[in-house]
Amino acid sequence: MRLVSCLIAGLVSLIAGHALAAPVLMISIDGLRPADILQADARGLKVPNLQGLARGGAYATGVRGVLPTLTYPSHTTLITGVWPVKHGIASNLTFDPYVKNQTGWYWYAEDIKVPTLWEAAHEAGLKVANVHWPVSVGARGIDLNLPQLWRTGTEDDRKLNRALATRGLTERLEAKLGPYAQGIDESVEGDEIRARFAETLMAEDAPGFATVYLTGLDHVQHESGPDTPEAHAALERIDAAVGRLVAAARKAQPGLVVVIVSDHGFAPVAHDVNLIAPFVQAGLIHIDLAKREITSWEAEPWFAGGAAEVKLAHPQDKAVRARVEALLDKLKANPELGIDEVMGEDRIARLGGATDYQYLIGFRLGYEMGKDPLGPAVGPSPVKGMHGYAPAFPEMRATFLVNGPGVPVHGALGEIDMRDIAPTVAGLLGTRLPTADGKRLF
């Protein structure tokens, strides 16, 4: 009887799991804050499509993100369910003190050290599509891939993007839709083009799992700041593009589940903090001032928006470590620099940050790391909005909402951990992501 009961329970579980399996369209809107949807009316925002998805589905009141709250580490957590300390994408920009990599980003999926949702979906027999998701160049498991990459921003980039996309895919879509947006194009207009390409992919290819990344809101919030007329106008246009994309996708696949995510929140910024100069003065960086180029270094702070990741050339050198820690103590003691916290490797790892860097300098809101080694100790920021701050700041909360017939719960889920999203999406797809550290939300 126990054997029969176990067999029946297993069969019921299998049937239930199969019944919940559904195609999923996962759209990321960079820099989208939860309140921009949940309190849209109070903020004077007209985003009926995002509001409708939230009201008819389930949503988090906030998503606590990665350390630091940057786009590329966050998007890799969204697709893997683990923190950067495990997936290996430490920042947006690759560490490049001599600028030999021409400001290269973490574009290549081979740098991800753990399995992804793309692979899990593909292994479950689903067709997988991607439009512009970060860290997607050469990603395993994607059948139809338009990855994110740029180099010079010239027309040659189009050839590079066509070569790195799934063979013939760009040409097929461009024949119907016109030129695809350049990778370096972070405008709302670029988002609208990518959304049209995604519409056609969803309509013609009906993928079982698709990821789409829209970056225009982040771009405008950097330029003008959050909660500005420019940022609101950008989000309203993105909302319209999302509405068209979802309608096209659901026409092709009526049972589609839509997941809306973001990578981080946003905060106004006013101050640039020159961290490079103190490292030069301490003899830890040597620089050609005429060329503003580094000639050698022992320890260097690396730009991470509202944080700075400090890397040692020789982490085992105790004497250099002592000099660096003395300098960091001195900098933190100066209230004018806006430093909130200095973390060592142990604390970085406990909070899930990548240990490619030995220290992390976290700023208070309103401050960011400057990039000019000859700038003042604290000067005006060239941008009006920033992220990258510690995930503990409520302003850095990201967005999650899910809508569709396969979703068994509705309404507010409370605040969630970003690692919960990937295993939850895997469950909706009818598959599993056993390497994820997060939990399924339902």
Q: What CATH number does residue 278 fall under?
A: 3.30.1360
Residues spanned by the domain of 342: 271-382
Quote the tokens at residue 436: 């994820």
* C-alpha closest to that of 440 among 39, 132, 20, 96: 20
- Asked if residue 345 belongs to a domain, the reply is yes
Could you give the dihedral angle defined by the CA atoms of residues 374, 284, 70 and 95, in that order, rounded to the nearest 10 degrees?
A: 100
**Percent share of the chain, pLDDT over 70:** 95
Model-level pTM? 0.94
Specify whether 366 is located in the same domain as 415.
no
- Asked if residue 2 belongs to a domain, the reply is no
- Asked if residue 14 belongs to a domain, the reply is no
For the chain, how many structural domains are there in total? 2
Specify whether 283 is located in the same domain as 420.
no
Whether 7 shows a pLDDT value over 70: the answer reads: no
pLDDT of residue 289: 82
pLDDT tens by residue, 312-336: 999 999 999 999 999 999 999 999 9
pLDDT of residue 6: 40
Cα gap 47→217, rounded to integer Å = 13
Whether 10 shows a pLDDT value over 90: the answer reads: no
Confidence of residue 406 (pLDDT cuts 50, 70, 90): confident
Specify whether 113 is located in the same domain as 254.
yes
pLDDT of residue 290: 84
- Asked if residue 15 belongs to a domain, the reply is no
- Asked if residue 10 belongs to a domain, the reply is no
Q: What CATH number does residue 147 fall under?
A: 3.40.720.10
Across the chain, mean pLDDT equals: 94
pLDDT tens by residue, 352-399: 999 999 999 999 999 999 998 889 999 999 999 999 999 999 999 999
Whether 13 shows a pLDDT value over 70: the answer reads: no
Specify whether 258 is located in the same domain as 289.
no
Please give the residue that has the higher pLDDT: either 292 or 254. Answer: 254
pLDDT tens by residue, 178-202: 999 999 999 999 999 999 999 999 9
Q: Give the angle 200-403-261 at the CA atoms, nearest 5°.
A: 75
Q: Decide if 231 contacts 237 (C-beta within 8 A).
A: no
Other beta carbons within 10 Å of 51: 17
* C-alpha closest to that of 385 among 28, 74, 31, 15: 31
Cα gap 246→261, rounded to integer Å = 14
- Asked if residue 12 belongs to a domain, the reply is no
Specify whether 150 is located in the same domain as 126.
yes
Cα gap 200→212, rounded to integer Å = 12
- Distance of alpha carbon 441 from the chain centroid: 20
- Asked if residue 6 belongs to a domain, the reply is no
- Asked if residue 132 belongs to a domain, the reply is yes
Cα gap 146→172, rounded to integer Å = 12
* C-alpha closest to that of 441 among 426, 417, 424, 422: 424
pLDDT tens by residue, 151-161: 999 999 999 99
